[in-house]
Amino acid sequence: MTEVSRPDGETNGEQGPARRSRLTRRGFLTGSVGGLAVAGASAVLVGCDESKAAAPKPVTQVPFRGTHQAGIATPAQDRMAFAAFDVTSTRKQDLIDLLQTWTAAAEKMCAGQPIGTVGGTGEQVPADTGEATGLDAADLTITIGFGPGLFDNRFGLAARKPAALEPLPSFAREVIDPDISGGDICIQACANDPQVAFHAVRNLNRLGFGTTTMRWFQLGFGRTSSTSSSQQTPRNLLGFKDGTRNVVSEDVDAMNAHVWVNETSDQQWLSGGSYLVTRKIRMAIEAWDRDRIGDQQDVIGRTKVEGAPLTGTKEHDEPDLNAKGSDGQPVIPVDAHIRLAAPESNAGMKILRRGYSFTDGADPVTGQLDAGLFFICFQSDPRTGFIPVQRKLAADGLNEYIKHVSSGIFACPAGLADGEYWGQRLLA
Amino acid sequence: MTEVSRPDGETNGEQGPARRSRLTRRGFLTGSVGGLAVAGASAVLVGCDESKAAAPKPVTQVPFRGTHQAGIATPAQDRMAFAAFDVTSTRKQDLIDLLQTWTAAAEKMCAGQPIGTVGGTGEQVPADTGEATGLDAADLTITIGFGPGLFDNRFGLAARKPAALEPLPSFAREVIDPDISGGDICIQACANDPQVAFHAVRNLNRLGFGTTTMRWFQLGFGRTSSTSSSQQTPRNLLGFKDGTRNVVSEDVDAMNAHVWVNETSDQQWLSGGSYLVTRKIRMAIEAWDRDRIGDQQDVIGRTKVEGAPLTGTKEHDEPDLNAKGSDGQPVIPVDAHIRLAAPESNAGMKILRRGYSFTDGADPVTGQLDAGLFFICFQSDPRTGFIPVQRKLAADGLNEYIKHVSSGIFACPAGLADGEYWGQRLLA
């Protein structure tokens, strides 16, 4: 049996090593498989209930390296910290140095380790900010993406810019705040402990001083999508199950067709990667809460409690978009959200949704909760993924209750081979 | 064995009852003790590791009624949603009606139940907003407090105002934003699932329309205090363990002496209650992170990794405030946080701290993280509790790195007997 608590047991110079040793149930369980990182083996190991939207997850580490970056196909963790950075240095080598530093730090954190000293001795400045000390990896994934601005003339990357990596066009009804939109680089940190996710972004931000500045940051308190068939569909702040028909990682064909950039793309460095789109969507939840259940269900196209399409009785029943009621009208209304977002309405296109609920407190003017959905999706090409779907959603009945207030697009490279750093295929 | 999933299995009028029945491990465990709410029995029931700061908690319900309000002595849950409301109606009966409605709703939510219909039929407006459907009670507690403003001449309560219930005085170095301070009524919702805590505040806010308006709201993503000797001390965003010497609920003498308002207080309606103080404390974490470990430890008075006082080697060693080093200077510096906050420096006074880490995103001007501690404490009298301690902290070396930006004080009445509503002893 191995003690697998966070290996931060550095000695304090003056006080000596006084950290209590613990053999925890979690430690035992992880130790029992030889201390290996076993993503996805949660339920087997612990036998806990994995079917609850907010069930605490047993401790696992998600491998940092692999064919694809973690945090896309990874079963959606419960909490998220997302940051966008602008690069302030104009030296390409600074960018490379930072990405190498970030890669090493991210790999450590995803293994449940601090990025360096937490304590130390008198004159030393701790390398790690320390608030995750004593916490486990909590399924942390850290995913990087590169925004359109990185491909301007600062770093000589213009010729390597993917044609699809353009700022999103304007959409109907949106009110985009540039202060919380865009960015040269994004970091998506997801974990089952928010302190672990926050710690990851904070420490990368700190390492970036002098090279990057944080442009915006968003905490997501509860996942609104499942990305694995092993997960139960969570509810968003409209009170409805969200993402019932989401692409799941077990559907390899769908992942290859709709999520991963393939080898025929215009930029080989992005092969095996994915395009990440963010949209902060504020919900007028107080107005929504006053709406009749019949209208709410017509707006979504599903029942509220079960989440069944209006043409079915069970959540996972296939919606029948052609079904008509006795009045001759479509059972799933023409402006229902699930109709307009359905692959059947979008030439078969699917996107992998991976969003989180947020709240930023009370609106000081209206006294209403500033809350909603921090929408994240991944796709192989935004020109056939998010953009046409969002255009179609101009007719969405849900627009009465939502407002898009931020926008971002990032190209997430493929996963890393041993020894590789984030962006190496782009920059080397 | 009882199915104890959230009892929201209402039928959808058109689609029929299609909700999947689940017998979960959690359900089994709760069912195995007869479905009774067993607060504090977590570790015994599940045998999980209770020693980790962020360990997922097994499912329990915390009893809503009792001698004292839950959410004070209750072992600090991991997540928090806190709101302050202003009463917009000037009719006392409206206030009474709302508090009766709120009490019934809060009791249901703390039992893991929706406050009414989630679905329903066509013209019905759902009574519950629905986003907690399918989630369990997650140790939810909902605690109410009354601010000084409630005792003005609107409701005829001036004569019932406790002498100690005055807006907090100004303190050195604070920069208080009135938009996120004060309020007539506060609601503290704590749970181990943030969606459950958010749902509680949102639904009470909704029920208050026409009588109250939300003045401010704060989400806390991770607890920074333990209030039970069964809990491991968590870390705040300075990376240090916080609240090592906190009052714990098992110390009944300390609770009676320092936390609960006793029968000799000036207002009998508050007997068995407590005064709640909130302070939003923004931390300059980027500056802190650049400080040398020796200085960080001198500022706090403890070692960072272990959390031991500088005069000891283990976290729970008693600090020796008189110890001097070979240089003749105090080992725990004169401006160390733990010295100035210590009961020994404050005539033996203690306060029960129950705060949470927060982040509100990136500061748009500086690009730094807007983050810190949403400080909450409970005490039998703020005039001998928070106020003198905070005055003493004017000399705190930590002030270089923190700024108080909000302030609130509320009188939390005692717990409720069967059939009683929140505030009944004040208003009836």
Instruction: For B302, name the nearest residue in chain A, comparing CA atoms only.
Output: A15
Residue-level pLDDT at B58 = 52
A308 touches chain B (CB under 8 A): yes
Number of alpha carbons in the 13 Å side-chain half-sphere of residue A343: 14
Residue-level pLDDT at A407 = 98
Nearest in space to A396 (alpha carbons), one of A331, A319, A337: A337
Instruction: For A193, name the nearest residue in chain B, comparing CA atoms only.
Output: B54
Q: Is the pLDDT of residue A14 over 80?
A: no
* ipTM, two decimals: 0.88
CA distance A17 to chain B (A): 8
CA distance A335 to chain B (A): 18
Residue-level pLDDT at A37 = 32
Q: Tell me: the pLDDT tens digits for A49-97?
A: 333 344 444 558 999 999 999 999 999 999 999 999 999 999 999 999 9
> What does DSSP assign to residue B258?
I
How far apart, in whole angstroms, are the C-alpha atoms of residue A331 and residue A340? 14
Q: Is the pLDDT of residue A9 over 50?
A: no
Q: Is the pLDDT of residue A354 over 70?
A: yes
Q: Tell me: the pLDDT tens digits for A128-178?
A: 999 999 999 999 999 999 999 999 999 999 999 999 999 999 999 999 999
Nearest in space to B177 (alpha carbons), one of B403, B333, B2: B403
Q: Predicted confidence band at A367 (pLDDT cuts at 50, 70, 90)?
A: confident
What is the mean pLDDT of the segment spanning A6-23?
A: 31
CA distance A52 to chain B (A): 7
Chain B CB contacts of A139 under 8 Å are none
Residue-level pLDDT at B243 = 92
What's the sign of the alpha-carbon dihedral A47, A51, A55, A58?
A: positive
Residue-level pLDDT at B242 = 95
Residue B216: Cβ within 10 Å count:
25
Residue-level pLDDT at A59 = 58
Task: Using CA atoms of B407, B409, B415, B420 in order, give the dihedral in degrees to the nearest 10.
Answer: -110
Nearest in space to B380 (alpha carbons), one of B412, B406, B407: B412
Q: Is the pLDDT of residue A280 over 80?
A: yes
Tokens of A133: 């000390």
Q: Predicted confidence band at A46 (pLDDT cuts at 50, 70, 90)?
A: very low
Would you say B64 and B106 are in contact if contact means Cβ atoms under 8 Å apart? yes
Chain B CB contacts of A27 under 8 Å are 49
Q: What percent of chain A has pLDDT over 90?
A: 84
A325 touches chain B (CB under 8 A): no
How far apart, in whole angstroms, are the C-alpha atoms of residue A299 and residue A293? 10
Instruction: Give the closest of B209, B232, B308 to A18, CB-based.
Output: B308
Q: Could B303 and A129 be called an inter-chain contact, meaning their C-beta atoms sit closer than 8 Å? A: no
Give bridge partners of residue B80 from the DSSP assignment: B190, B220
Instruction: Give the closest of A24, A138, A215 to B51, CB-based.
Output: A24
B293 touches chain A (CB under 8 A): yes
Low-confidence ranges of chain B (pLDDT < 50): 1-57
Instruction: Give the closest of A54, A206, A239 to B193, CB-based.
Output: A54
Nearest in space to A124 (alpha carbons), one of A208, A17, A12: A12
